[in-house]
Structure 1
Amino acid sequence: MTETTTRAAATAMGGAVANCAEESNGRVEARVFTMAEPLEPASVPTALPTLGLECLRGAGKKTAVSVTVRPVAEVWRVLFAAASTGGAYNSGLYGAYGRLAAWQSLAALAQSPEGLTAEEVEERVRGCVWYGFDAGTSWFERVAWDIGLAALAPDRRGLAVLAATDTD
């Protein structure tokens, strides 16, 4: 796997959780990886801890990592809740702007190219395999909420990861 994260992609993926870092003491990690060969969905739980993610540093040795397939509706709810209500110590973007930030994060995690229609983005989002992950690493604060999401692109050659945590 090769990391292909751009600043624009990281900003777009992290839009729904940006308030925890901008208005509080939280952290956000948003990264994209590209594979030469398609990655089988069943291999993502094994691959995720090998990517060199800050949020998973030290996981897999003495610290367990949990990676499970999640329905896209659940991923949407997590992103919308984070965007609309904020993190542990901020107020979020509320309803309309929270929906917009969640939608933009979802589209970016699905690695949607610029210029797609809403219907095309939805099709791409539904073509992804979505994962939630958690680990007892020191990166996650475990104060109010922690988020770990990953999306395997429809062509199975791209893996986007978003992790966020907040503290006082």
Structure 2
Amino acid sequence: MVENQDDYSRTFRGAALAARLRRLSERLDRDGTRAYLAHGVQFEQRWYGLLRQLISNGPMSVGEIAAALQISHASVSEARRSLENAGIIASVTSSEDGRRKTLSLTSAGIELCGRLSALWETFNAAAQELNDEAGDVVGLLDRLDDALASRSMYDRIMDRVAPVND
């Protein structure tokens, strides 16, 4: 393991947990983007989860995708807008509820997903290799996720500080 005293995230260990996770996420996304570009594809890594849901389940609402991925409605909406602008998905506003949009793949989206399926299998294999090399970090992330579900970071912080009086 390479240790750099100037590396804030490593120096502060658990105290820099969020910074470390953000950095690793950015690094993985950056490498993913480079791999797509090397295959001649303009593709944003944040699109993958949304597309996987549509491939697996067919048309879905933004809320259903957010619930399935356990991410914010706002994150899915932002990805939806960029996917629509790229012509990969289309959305139809519900006649019963004007706030609800049902998303589906366009013909260009279906073609793109078919073209990317082999590359996605390679991504998955590389991710599994990395996880194995790192000693099952996904298992540790599951434990972190469960710990946060049990008691949020907010609650952990608030238990340690006095409330601010207005």
TM-score, normalising length: structure 2: 0.31
Higher Cα radius of gyration: 2
Structure with greater contact order relative to length (CA < 8 Å, sep ≥ 6): 1
TM norm structure 1: 0.31
Q: Which has more strand, going by share of residues?
A: 1
